[in-house]
Amino acid sequence: MLRLAFPLSRSLSTTPTPTSPTDPAFLLRICTILFQHQRSPDSSLHRRLSLLLPSPSSLPPPFLRELFFQVSSRFPLSYRPLHRFLLFLHPFPHSSSTASRYLDVLGKSRNVDLLWSSFLSFLPHSSIVTPRLLCIAARGLADASEVNKIVQIFSLISTHYPSLCSVETLNLVISTICDRKLVEVAKSVVLKVRRDLGIVPSEQTYRFLILGFCRTGELAQATKLWNKMVAEGLEPDVDSYTEVVDTLFKNNRLEDAMMMFKFMRERRFSDLTADSYHAVITWLCKEGRILYAHMLLGEMLKRGVQFDCTTLGELIYGLVVRRRTREAYRVFHMVREPSISLYHGLMKGLLRIKRAGEATEVLREMLRKGCEPNMHTYIMLLQGHLGKRGRKGRDPLVNFESIFVGGLIKAGKTLEATKFVERTMRGAVEVPRFDYNKFLHCFSNEDGVEMFKEVGRKLKEAGMNDLGDIFFIYGERMATRDRRRKAMGGLL
């Protein structure tokens, strides 16, 4: 061990103090020492760090803070190297940003005790304690379900910084916790802060809780909070209405969703946005209520609400599925520059009614207009032409399973080919759904370009021009990363 230590010591001792804390070689040495010796005694670790930073106390605070940020970015989920580095730099000139980053690392590494003690050490410094610091500390404590400690944060700042102990700060904390989908923790914090400190939740507080419960699928809890909010004389905003309507649709409670949307139009008509209409129009088209969806679209146009192409795409899909293709094309041609959402809505509807050839023609028109398809476009078209389990034809040249198995063998993936053949040969076992995404991924290389061209040529020879064009276009524009970049940049 001594024989290995001396060369390391000589190489480190010759390293001068860097002029910049972002020097890659210097950071590599620092982080290597911190990682390899994170469990070594302090004397051993400090001796090695001193070879790189002989006198850290003499360095300017901006240099040390930038160095701290660089080191913390290399250990985002491990507290020990960063904590021991701060002990070496003691006393470290913390700022609000460095303190927030440190608490963030402690929270992500689930070291609650060190997080809490560090927060208490920052509390006397008014320049460090900010709403952002409180949110980061609360987020780390919420991950560990430490509700009482989060409430204690508000109790402490009410003593030291009364201006921060407000409903605005509470809303920031609740929003941060709800973003982590810890809505039960957020609800408990609101109840205890109201009981112990008298901070009454506002409309914004209830909004974060209602949105959080809806997004986690707990509609019953969201309904209870909604009723409690109304009982206190507070009116839910448009976002709360929209989220509840969308959640009711997802739970197949169509009549309740439409009733809630009716209430929203009565009470918040002037505040309705494109998102409010989009959620309802999307579900109405899925349920086949095209007339009402048309009425809502007309209402949007009359009020001057800017609708997006995604909403029109859903309307086009609903019209095509109901065999009202003329109306669908009329809506489609209303837009001067159709986006990919409109093309996808039209293609998906045509494939649903078994008009795959017409959907392929939409792909050709899409390319002529300069709208570049993505991976979802090709997978959707392949499923429409070949079925979700792959094509089984009499001619082995156009049997999709033969193409796939032959391609796997040529690519050297014999094990995957054998497994697929075994599954298809067992008569009692249903053939699994074919993974077109995996198929395209397996041949996304330069060899795959030639393979797709060959497959496209054989399919055209067998009379399948549409399917052959899909493979040929994919091989030309999407088979490799460079080709995808050129296609997206309009170079193809």
**Which pLDDT tens digit goes with each residue over 176-212?**
999 999 999 999 999 999 999 999 999 999 999 999 9
CA atoms of 422 and 170, how far apart (whole Å)? 59
Mean per-residue pLDDT, 298-304: 82
Residue percentage of the chain with pLDDT more than 70: 83
Least confident piece of the model among 66-70, 223-227, 272-276: 272-276
- CA count, 13 A, side-chain hemisphere, 37: 19
H/E run at residue 243: helix 238-250
Confidence check: pLDDT of 4 > 60: no
Sorted by where each begins, the domain ranges of the chain are 386-492
pLDDT in tens, 341-388: 899 999 999 999 889 889 999 999 988 888 888 888 888 888 888 775
How confident is the model at residue 122, as a pLDDT?
94
Q: Which residue has the higher pLDDT, 339 or 389?
A: 339
Identity of the residue numbered 474: Y
How confident is the model at residue 99, as a pLDDT?
95
Q: Give the highest mean pLDDT range of 31-35, 405-409, 453-457.
A: 31-35
Residue 479, SS3 per DSSP: coil
Looking at every residue in the chain, the average pLDDT score rounds to: 83
Confidence check: pLDDT of 80 > 80: yes
Task: List the alpha helices (DSSP H) in 37-182.
Answer: 42-52, 61-74, 79-88, 96-108, 112-122, 131-143, 147-160, 167-179
> What's the pTM value of the predicted model, to 2 decimals?
0.74
Residue 409, SS3 per DSSP: helix
Q: Check residue 304 and give left, alpha or beta (phi > 0: left; psi -120 to 50: alpha).
A: left
Confidence check: pLDDT of 473 > 90: no
Confidence check: pLDDT of 251 > 70: yes
